[in-house]
Amino acid sequence: MDSRIALVVMGVSGSGKSTVAAGIAAALGLHFIDGDGLHSPASVARMQAGTPLGDEDRWPWLERIAERLVDDGRWPRGVVIACSALRRAYRDRIRAGAPGVRFVFLDGPAGLIRARMAGRAGHYMPESLLASQLRTLEPPGEGEPDVLRLDIALPAEAVIGAAVRALGG
């Protein structure tokens, strides 16, 4: 790993973004940020109430994500951020603010994700919003060569290892 890394680990809630992003950051000696912590208090309250966020809620949040990704003064080796980045427009907004950013897309079946969400405690995102996230999700495809797609059916350690190898670590 010769150059600074700016990485977003993306996917719907319950896909393992925080676990995988933290594991990648630890393996590569990078700073980890959970993008959920960058939501405004009003957005968190909306999600806690089971109300999906709209784009007007997301744009400022995505700007904060991009600002952290390019902050080489605070994190000169790089940063890994867990962020849903569900739509192409959201990823493009991050790309505009953080040129050179790369993405890891955690992909898996809705049933597996639903089961994971049901088994976790203390998270403000209710399982009821998964359907909304799945409807919003625009899986990365052609024209997004900066995205690595990984299968979340694998154990977290295997997903982390595949990402680290792909990043040259």
Q: 5-10 and 102-107 as β-strands: parallel, antiparallel, unpaired?
A: parallel
Tens-place pLDDT, residues 51-89: 878 889 999 999 999 999 999 999 999 999 999 999 999
Query: 49 or 28: whose pLDDT is higher?
Result: 28
CB 163 within 8 A of CB 148: yes
Residue 157 has pLDDT above 80, yes or no: yes
| Residues 95-130 pLDDT 10s | 999 999 999 999 999 888 888 776 555 544 555 677
End-to-end CA distance of the chain: 6
| Entry pTM | 0.89
CATH code, domain with 97: 3.40.50.300
Mean pLDDT for 26-48 is 92
| Total domains, the chain | 1
**Structural domain for 87, as ranges:** 5-166
Secondary structure element (H or E) that encloses residue 45, with its range = helix 41-48
